[in-house]
Amino acid sequence: MKKKITKILSKNFSNRITCLTAYSPAVAKILDGNVDLVLIGDSLGTTLYGMKNSRKVTLEMMKLHGLAVTKNVKKSITVIDMPYNTYNTKLQAHKNALELIKYTKSKMLKLEINKKNLILIKYLSSKKINVIAHIGVTPQSFINFNKIRAVGKNKTESKNLIELAKKSENYGAKAILLECVKKDTAKKITSSVSIPTIGIGSSKYCDGQVLVFDDLISYDKSQHFPKFVKNYINFNKIAEKAVKTFCKEVQKSKFPNKKYTY
């Protein structure tokens, strides 16, 4: 697996890196072997639990969903998010990182990185933990997701992000996830670092792309999807149709018929 991580996360890897989220065994099985990275993201807080932001996601939740996913991933590389408030200091980060890795056997950890906590990458990497640095828009910094806007718009923001990306690489990050970073800045970051960049809402100028699986299939019809989300299928519509047919058949005593009866 170590060789595989190195291969996939090498800039020489001929394919663009693909990554989708999974929180459950069923989705893990769909993704395994089809995407390079399976991310157990703390987006599960909003996507699965209906929370307003990701701040109430706990280590325990990540452990349970993490294990449910990793048990069903044999070919792809698993990445798990460190949730909010679990990596405020080096020692806290190390203790919780080990707990998460030991319980879930996830191969990589993703941390939301800023100027202040950047040093955690160096510390965790020195302990042989594979870290992905999540920069740009870092959702754990937001109580209200409606306030999220793309970053890297002006010279200062762009310079700071490039600096953060370069330092993340120097401190040992294996990849950089760029969230909602303007195209020109994303392009500059990708060409400034020798580790891969994986974008979400950060243009095609990244070495790979990540999306939330539930968004890809349009699971929740009430959800407002940001500009960067492409709904590849409308699962919601398909599921609703199935539900309506089931109800009709039950009401008309068509289900269960002989075929479904012991």
Q: Does 43 interact with ligand KIV (rule: CB under 6 A)?
A: yes
CA gap 131, 112 in Å, rounded = 10
Residue type, 181: V
Q: Is 41 in the site for ligand KIV (CB under 6 A)?
A: yes
Indicate the helix (H) or strand (E) that contains 209: strand 208-211
Dist CA 126 CA 107 (whole Å): 16
Among 37-45, 67-75, 160-168, 252-260, which window interacts with ligand KIV (CB under 6 A)?
37-45
Closest CA to 213 of 6, 93, 35, 64: 35
Q: Which is nearer to ligand KIV, 100 or 200 (CB)?
A: 200
Q: Which is closer to ligand KIV, CB of 21 or CB of 158?
A: 21
Question: Tell me, what DSSP letter sits at residue 32?
Answer: B
Which of 81, 169, 207, 214 is the binder for ligand KIV (CB under 6 A)? 81
Pick from 36, 42, 207, 214: which binds ligand KIV (CB under 6 A)?
42
Judged by beta carbon, residue 61 or residue 255, the one nearer ligand KIV is 61
**Beta partners for 56?**
none
Q: Which is nearer to ligand KIV, 132 or 193 (CB)?
A: 132
Q: Give the Cα separation of 71 and 98 in Å (integer).
A: 18
Residue indicated by tokens 């939330």: 212
List the catalytic residue out of 157, 163, 179, 240. 179
CB closest to ligand KIV, residue no: 41
Handedness of CA 205, 209, 215, 216 (dihedral sign): positive
Residue 179 among the catalytic residues: yes
* Token pair in block for residue 107: 């191969």
* Residues 112-131 contacting ligand KIV, CB under 6 A: none
Q: By CB under 6 A, which span of 41-49, 85-93, 113-121, 123-131 interacts with ligand KIV?
A: 41-49
List binders of ligand KIV among 207-236 (CB under 6 A). 210, 212
**DSSP state letter for 211:** E
**Catalytic positions, please?**
179
In the complex, which residues of this chain contact ligand KIV (CB under 6 A)? Answer: 21, 39, 41-43, 81, 177, 200, 210, 212
